[in-house]
Amino acid sequence: MLKSLFIRKPIDKLLEQTEGGNQFKRSLGPVDLVMLGIGAIIGAGLFVRTAAAAAEHAGPAVVYSYILAGIGCAFAGLCYAEFASSIPVAGSAYTYSYATLGEFIAWIIGWELVLEYGLGAATVSIAWSEYLNKTLQSFFGVQVPYAWCHSPFERLYDASGNVVATGIVNLPAIGILLLLTVLLIRGTRQSAFVNSLIVIIKVSIVVAFILLGWKFMRPENHTPFVPPAGTYTDLDGYTHTFGGLLGILAGAGTVFFAFIGFDAVSTAAQEARNPRRDMPIGILVSLAICTVLYVLFSYVLTGIATLEDFRTTGKEASVAYAIQKYMTGFSWLADFISVAILAGFSSVILVMLLGQSRVFFSMSRDGLVPPIFSHIHPRYRTPYKSNIIFFIFTALFAGFMPGSLAGDLTSIGTLAAFVMVSAGVWVLRITQPNLPRAFRTPWVPFVPLMGVLVCGAMMLGLDQRTWNGFLLWTAAGLLIYFVYSRKHSVARKNNETA
């Protein structure tokens, strides 16, 4: 039985599945894939999680957290690039693990990818709701009532620490998920075009903030740059590791959410025109561009506003808040940024929803989840039923879960996938050394080993609440695997009849 858990899917069978009728349209080139990556990478991780990581864990040293997270992503990204060029099939880390580490590990990774993409989309939609309120207030002087744009687990406090409002459901977050699900059902090419326009706006915002905000930085906000090691307890009573090396590590686990876009690029392998060439370009170029922007952005933001701002009145829509309070004469930039960030967050949600449906498309085709997840629309050639199901799933989390918990669960699910992909490249080099590789990860086994170690360390840096949620989710996945997936596995059935 133990051996049967690690049955592998032959790579030649994986590649055969890219041919035939029930397939996606190959419409994405290298520029589309780079834009897809940047569209997913630059979003809530930068505009929301930066302030959260600085306030709760690292202080100004969140800059180092971004560098550490970027290093981990670089190692994992090199491994992803080799896999994506060698096995250009939809499914991302799930597909790669199936070919190298076996079905059981592949199932676990596929299940954790639901955390990455599903909760990732939910997290960003929650941030979208925050900036929608900021925009409505700036332009029209109105806001969505607190109860209808926050989860039941969130409370609004006054200056004395008293609760003045409690959330019920986040309706704007659910609304944007519905709108983008409809767009995805209409077609990937149309979605990619919209995404590219948004990416141009989003990168322009980041560059403008860095250039204009540089002169408003105050040295005292960066002193000490690495706070002394200790803890920080927020208004809801949660205690966080703060300062020192552990604070930087915890901050890296938090801001890691900001880097998951290049992984989403690999889920679109079956929609790339020349995946063996274009997938590495899309993954590595988008990752490199965003890492540089992240480091500069976090340095400027923590230099402009104080940690106390990020912990209290500037906790939501922190970038716009910092501009309005400290960048005299640039209040127009805060309004422009709020509007543009709404568009930018939309592109992130779009890519997360796309990635989620493509992973389950692969799992459904392999028999591990029901066939409904691989049904393709006869006209639009998209997995429309899967999109609808995942809208319901993500909407429940977006409407009823706090953004901080959803973000950290997204990070830990992604990190688990990155550890497996890094290990998988090493395994594949040993088991199938002659497999054609359009891109080869350099310095094997050093790069895969560092990917495992750095990403594993960031997982350990996340708090107990996140680990509890991760373990509970994993336990649910194991139950589904042994009750349903093993009985319906196509690879297992083929092996038994061979």
Q: How far apart are CA 422 and CA 466, in angstroms?
A: 23
For 155, the 3-state DSSP assignment is strand
Give mean pLDDT in consecutive 10-residue pieces for the chain, a chain of 498 residues.
Answer: 70 62 62 77 77 92 93 86 69 73 86 82 88 84 90 80 86 94 73 69 87 94 94 81 92 83 64 73 83 93 94 84 90 80 79 80 88 82 85 91 80 86 88 79 91 91 87 93 91 72
209-212 contacts at long range (C-beta below 8 A, 24 or more positions apart): 209/297, 209/300, 209/301, 209/319, 209/323, 209/333, 209/337, 210/293, 210/296, 210/297, 210/300, 212/327, 212/330, 212/333
User: What crossing angle do the helices spanning 331-365 and 103-114 adopt, rounded to 10°?
Assistant: 150
Q: Distance between CA 455 and CA 34 in Å, rounded? A: 23
* Collapsed DSSP state (helix, strand, coil) of residue 29: coil
DSSP 401: S
How far CA 390 is from CA of 29, 121, 384, in Å, comes to 27, 10, 10
Separation CA 311–CA 40 (nearest Å): 26
DSSP 109-154: HHHHHHIIIIIHHHHHHHHHHHHHHHHHHHHHS----GGGBS-TT-
Give percent above pLDDT 70 in the chain.
88
**What are the angstrom distances between the C-alpha of 437 and each of 88, 457, 494?**
11, 29, 27
d(CA 325, CA 321): 6
Q: Cα separation of 61 and 69, whole Å?
A: 13
* Number of Cβ atoms within 10 Å of the Cβ of 476: 11
User: CB of 315 within 8 A of CB of 236?
Assistant: no
pLDDT per position as a tens digit, 34-92: 877 787 677 667 887 899 899 999 999 999 999 999 888 888 888 887 877 677 665 56
Token pair of 426 as six digits? 């090493």
To the nearest 10 degrees (0 to 180), the angle between helices 30-41 and 331-365 is: 110
> Who contacts 129 (Cβ-Cβ below 8 Å, separation ≥6)?
144, 149, 170, 172, 173, 176
112: left (phi over 0), alpha (psi -120 to 50) or beta: alpha
CATH of 26-488, one of 3.30.230.10, 1.20.1250.20, 1.20.1740.10, 3.40.50.1980: 1.20.1740.10
**DSSP secondary structure letters along 434-467:** TS--SS--SSTTHHHHHHHHHHHHHHHTS-HHHH
Token pair of 455 as six digits: 């990403």
Residue 342 to residues 70, 133, 199, 339, 400, Cα–Cα distance (Å): 25, 10, 12, 5, 20
Q: Terminal CA-to-CA distance of the chain, rounded, Å?
A: 18
Residue 184: is it exposed, middle or buried by C-beta count within 10 angstroms (0-12/13-18/19+)? buried
How many Cα atoms within 13 Å fall on the side-chain side of residue 20? 9
Q: What is the DSSP string of 461-498?
A: TS-HHHHHHHHHHHHHHHHHIIIIIHHH-HHHHHHHH-
pLDDT in tens, 226-275: 999 999 888 777 788 899 999 999 999 888 877 876 666 666 666 677 77
Segment 314-340, tens digit of pLDDT: 887 788 889 989 998 888 888 877 777
Cα angle value 128/472/181 (rounded, 5°): 30
pLDDT of the residue at 55: 92
Question: Which residues share a beta bridge with 241?
Answer: 231
Q: CA 323 to CA 209: how far, in whole Å?
A: 9
Task: Give the pLDDT of residue 21.
Answer: 46
pLDDT at residue 478, rounded to an integer: 93
pLDDT, mean over the chain: 83
Which residues contact residue 498 at a Cβ distance below 8 angstroms, ignoring those fewer than 6 apart? none
355 closest CA partner among 428, 290, 282, 294: 282
Beta strands 230-233 and 239-242, pairing class = antiparallel
Retrieve residue 340's tokens: 């543009």
- Close Cβ partners of 209 (under 8 Å, ≥ 6 residues apart): 297, 300, 301, 319, 323, 333, 337
The predicted model scores a pTM of 0.77
CA–CA separation, 76 and 70 (whole Å): 10
Question: Quick one: angle between helices 403-431 and 446-460, nearest 10?
Answer: 160
